[in-house]
Amino acid sequence: MTAKALPKRSEVDPQLTWDLTTIFANQADFQAELVAVKTLAQQLKKTAVTKFISANTLQAATEQVLQLNRRFEKVRVFAELQNDVETTVPSTQAALVQTEQLDNLVSEAQAWYPNAVVATGATLITTWLKSYPSLQTYHRFLELNLRAAGHLLPVNQEQLLAQATQIFNAPEKIFNQLDSSDLPFPTVTDEQGNRVQLSNGRYGLLLESTQQAVRAETFHKTYEVYQQFQNTFATTLGSQVNANNFSARVHHFESAQAQALFENEVPQSVFDTLITEVHRHLPLLQRYVALRKRFLHTEQLHMYDMYVPLATSPQTKYTFAEAKQLARQALQVLGPTYQQLMETAFKQRWIDVVENENKRTGAYSSGSYDTNPFILLNWQDNLNNVYTLVHEMGHSIHSAMTRKHQPYQTGDYSIFVAEIASTTNENLLTDYLLEHTTDDNLKKYILSLYLEGFKGTIFRQTQFAEFEKLIHHEAQRGTPLTASQLNQWYLQLNSQYYGPDLQADPEIQLEWARIPHFYYDFYVYQYATGYAAAINLAENLETGGQTARRQYFNYLQAGNSKAPLDIMKMAGVAMDQSAYLTKSFTQFEKRLAALEKLI
C-alpha cells in the first residue's frame, strides 16, 4: 500500500494555521524592524557607563534597555514562528539567522548595564527608589540585577561572551535541525495495514496502538535511526553541557545547576526535595508497571508497551473541533474571563494545528509582550492531543493575563511557575472527564491516561532531571560524554526507575538522543514540580469557589512581580515544603488503586 505522506504547508487549511500578520504584515516590515532594533542596540552601547551618578541617568538607561529587549523579542518571535512551521525554506532560515546575529548585538549592547547597577550599589539605588516615584516602577527589575553581584564579569568580558551567544546556541540549533528535518525516518505498518511514514509526531501515536507488532516495529525502526546518528547527538548534547558548565564556571557558580536555580530564584532544596520524594515513591511507579504487565497478559513487558492505554475508549478519536468543545466544558470552573480568552485564541488564529512536512515536532506556546500568544501543535486525533491543547492553552492564557496586568519589566514569568497553569488545565480536564462518565470502560480509559500523564510528568521528568544533573556533573569532572557512556548511564537510571517488571530493551538507552529539553539548561525538573503544584491548585479551584479562583488569578496575573515561591504561596501552594508533593502522590495512589479494581 502507498505510504500516507504528510501534507505540504501550502495544502493546510489557513484557518488551521496561526496568523503571523498580526506581528508583521509582511517581510518588509519585519526587515525594517530588524534594522531599527540594530540601531537601538548601537545607540545603547554608546551610552555605557561604569556606574550611575543620578536617579535620572539610571532611569533613562533602564528604559533604553527594556525598550531594546521588548522590540527585539517581537522580531525574534516572528522569525522563530515562521521558521518552525516549515524548517527547510531558505528565506525563513535566513531570517532566523539574521535574528540570531542580532541577538548577539543586543546582548553585547546591554552587557555593561548589570555591572553599572551593581557598581552603583543597593544602598544608593534604594535611596533613589524612595525619593523618585517614577523610578519605583522598575524596583523589581533593579532588584533582580542587584542579585547578580558576585557573579558578573568585567564589562569587556561580558561583552565578549555576548558576542559568542550564537556559538553557545549552536548545539540546540543543530539538534533541532537534525531532529526536525534531516533524520531519514522509514515507513512502518499501522493497524489498518497501511504503510505510513514515521515522524516524531506519529511515533507517539503508533506506540498507543493495541497491536504489539505495530508498537514493536515503530519502536525498533525509530531507534535504528537514532542509533545511526548517536555519535552526532552525543556531540551536540556534550557541547551543550560544556557550554552550560563554562558559563557557570566563569560566573563563579559551583555548577551549571546552581546557576540555573539562582537565575530563577529557586533554592537548591526544592530540587533536592523533588528527587528525594520521587525516590521514596518509586514503588508506586513500579506498582503501575506491574499493573500494566498484568493487564497486557505478557510475560515480558517492553518499553514499547508502556504507552498503550490500559483500557479502550468508546470514542478514541477526537477531531480538533471536538477537542475545542471539550476544552470549553472542562475549564468552565475557571470562569467567564478565562473562557473569553480561550474563544479569542480559537477565533483569531493563535493556533497552528496540523502536522505538515518539515514542521517542528512537538508542541509549545510562544509570543512576546507585544504579540498575542501563539500555540504550535502537531495534531493527532486522540485524547492525548486534547490534553496537549488544554496544556498549551494554559501557557498562552497565563501569558495573556500576565501581559494585561503587568508592565513589560514584570510582564513575563519565571520558568519555575511556567508549567503550573498548563498542568492545572490538564488536571481539570481529567477531573471533568472522570466526573462526567458512569461508563466503567471510559473511566478506566481516563484513569489510564491520568496515570500515564503522572508517570510521564512527575516520574519521567524527574528521571530526566537526574540524568541532566549527572551528565553536567560528570562533564565538570572531566568525563567524556561519549554515546556509549551516555547510553550506559541512561539505561541504568531507566532500570532504577521502572524496576524489574520492565524489560531493559537496549534501544531505550538511546532515548536521551530524542529529548530536546536536555538543551534547555535544567528546565525539566520544573515539569514535575509544576505538575504536583497543579494537582493542588486544581483541587482548590474545584472546591474553593470564588476565593480559590481569585487566588489562582492572582498567580496568573503576577508575572515576575515577586519571587516564584512567593507567587505560589499567594496561590495557596507552599513549594518550599514537601507536602504538595506528598499530596500529589496520594492522588496517584488513589487513582492507581481505582484502576486496579476496575481491571
Q: Within 10 A of 347 (CB to CB), how many other CB atoms are there?
A: 9
The three-state secondary structure class of 363 is: coil
**Residue 520 phi, psi (nearest 5):** -105, 10
Grid cell at residue 274: 523533588
Q: Which of 86, 108, 392, 452 is catalytic?
A: 392
Cα separation, 438 vs 425, in Å, equals 22
Residue 374: which residues within 8 A CB-CB, separation 6 or more? 18, 77, 81, 350, 351, 352, 365, 366, 367, 396
- The secondary structure element, H or E, covering residue 2 is none
Instruction: Look at strands 364-366 and 351-352 and give their pairing.
Output: unpaired
The Cα diameter of the chain in Å comes to 77
Cα separation, 406 vs 137, in Å, equals 10
Residue 451: which residues within 8 A CB-CB, separation 6 or more? 288, 310, 588, 591, 592, 595
Grid cell at residue 576: 518550599
Q: Residue 16 CA to chain centroid, in angstroms?
A: 22
Residue 530: which residues within 8 A CB-CB, separation 6 or more? 416, 417, 418, 419, 420, 422, 423
Grid cell at residue 250: 566563569
Contact 323, 377 (CB under 8 A): no
For 40-77, b where at least 16 C-beta lie within 10 A, e where not — what string? bbeebbeebbeebeebeebbebbebbbebbbbbbbbbb
The three-state secondary structure class of 358 is: coil
For 288-307, b where at least 16 C-beta lie within 10 A, e where not — what string? bbbbbbebbeeeebbbbbbb
Cα separation, 431 vs 434, in Å, equals 5
Give Rg (Cα) of the chain.
Answer: 24
Cα separation, 316 vs 318, in Å, equals 7
Q: Which alpha helices (DSSP H) does 251-382 contain, by range?
A: 256-263, 268-280, 282-295, 320-330, 336-347
Cβ burial of 500 (10 Å; 0-12, 13-18, 19+) is: exposed
Grid cell at residue 105: 548585538
Of the candidates 71, 52, 203, which has an alpha carbon nearest to the alpha carbon of residue 128? 52
Instruction: Look at strands 364-366 and 374-376 and give their pairing.
Output: antiparallel
DSSP letter, residue 4: B
Cα separation, 144 vs 263, in Å, equals 9
Grid cell at residue 257: 545547576
Is 392 among the residues known to form the active site?
yes
- The secondary structure element, H or E, covering residue 39 is helix 27-46
Grid cell at residue 595: 484502576
Cα separation, 423 vs 418, in Å, equals 10
Name the residues annotated as catalytic. 392
